Amino acid sequence: MELPVSFTDRTRALLGDDEYNKLSAALNEEQPVSIRLNADKLRCISSRQPSVPWSSTGFYLDRRPTFTFDPLFHAGCYYVQEASSMFVEQALKQLLTDEPVVMLDLCAAPGGKSTHARSVLPAGSLLVANEVIRNRSQILAENLTKWGHPGVVVTNNDPADFSSLEAFFDVVLTDVPCSGEGMFRKDPVAVSEWSPENVDICWQRQRRIISDIWPCLKPGGILIYSTCTYNTKEDEENIRWMRDELSAEVLRLDVSDNWNITGNLLSGEDFPVYRFLPHKTTGEGFFLAVLRKPGTETETPWTGAETIREKGRKSQGKGAKAPAISKEQLLSVARWLSASEDYEWLVDGNRVSAFPREYVAALAALRSSLRIVQAGVEVAELKGKDWMPAHGLAVSTALRSDAFAREEIGYEQAIAYLRKEAVVLSAAAPRGVVLLTYKLIPLGFVKNIGNRANNLYPQEWRIRSGYLPGEVLELAAIL
């Protein structure tokens, strides 16, 4: 790999000759493969593969599975995530209590840290995952839907759009856009786009992002700042700026010496930061620091706000149709959810979603300022007189296990289903809506009419490749 001369000079000065030479050598090695399992779908997690030390569900793989052609990947059983970035788990687990929180992942697409946070947040918490680029927000929504937790809101907004939500969040994760130095081994484009000028653009943009979102954090709340870059301008110098200009307290995490995490590299400073260097830790370049906003926690800002019902059950998006579904009709789909009494129904035309009841007022406050892409779990669509269950319900942990007849299918059928091709079930399969499972994991719905089954998999999520590798390696075969 031919690195930019300016990058080499800067990083050599930062690390010293010996450490820089080791880093440069590591960048020419093959990048490690790592995944994180979904404990809500894979109840018994064990593996022959080495674990990621700072993640309770992360594993390194000695081979790269054929992820696109692995049905369990599409079912949300695991996420392909770079190992170093899984360190976010330590910040959340060490600094939060068992009390529910409202968390914002501000720069969330494609969803690695959002799905991870959703798995480790205290029970009863709400996650708001935001992405400023519209098409990437759809990818974020897809990945969070597959992950299956109903306590999620996906938004598509600029950080400045959150300004009216003052003291709203207990936790804010800012995985800010950066110069991407830590991705050089993974992404050759990051090498070609790097320049000292881009570094300057990035650190200034990062401070604007923090300035925009800081008022939204509650006094006493936690801000997690991370980048995938090495230079101190985007890392330590921004943390120092937050400490000095925002009076933020930089918090220390307990880490094992065996993790080989590098600390503060800014001359004259010793506040705690956590830097992952590829020649010392098994992963890509990553930087993280945690800061606490001064002050004591205030009353929940949406207390007393209008609820969804009081606001006429506003839709999840702008320009929505008026509700066309009666309470009696909703009761017929309530039985599809376990603990349906814990959810409020959101109605958008003929579509209904379920959202955690305790956060309906918070959702109303979010809707007053933000573009909502998705909230809760989409449950069903009324077509004529018949309810058709939504794919989001099939892969949701809120689905009641006995709500639908199930049919276990093999690998070829699963791939055909994920390509949205026609699926033929066994003669013994029941007629009507059937939940297909693969290795007993819900994959999605079909409507079985006998000689064939109408495929209800989302068209926009289908496997588009007609090519099937001669040898398919599924994750289950490796674990």
Q: Which residues are catalytic, by number?
A: 228
Residue 335, amino acid: R
Helix (H) or strand (E) holding 274: strand 274-276
Phi, psi (rounded to 5 degrees) for 378 = -70, 130
Q: Which residues contact 329 (CB under 8 A, 6 or more apart)?
A: 382, 387
Torsion angles phi and psi, residue 163, rounded to 5: -60, -30
Within 294-359, residue ranges assigned H as helices are: 327-334
Give me the half-sphere count of Cα atoms (radius 13 Å) on the Cβ side of residue 279: 13
Residue whose token pair is 């200009």: 245
Partners of 305 in the β-ladder: none
Contact 349, 327 (CB under 8 A): no
Which of 289, 346, 350 is closest to 321 using CA atoms? Answer: 350
Which of the 8 DSSP states describes residue 307?
P
Location of structure tokens 């090498």 = 191
CA distances from 166 to 126, 130, 215, 389 (A): 17, 17, 5, 37
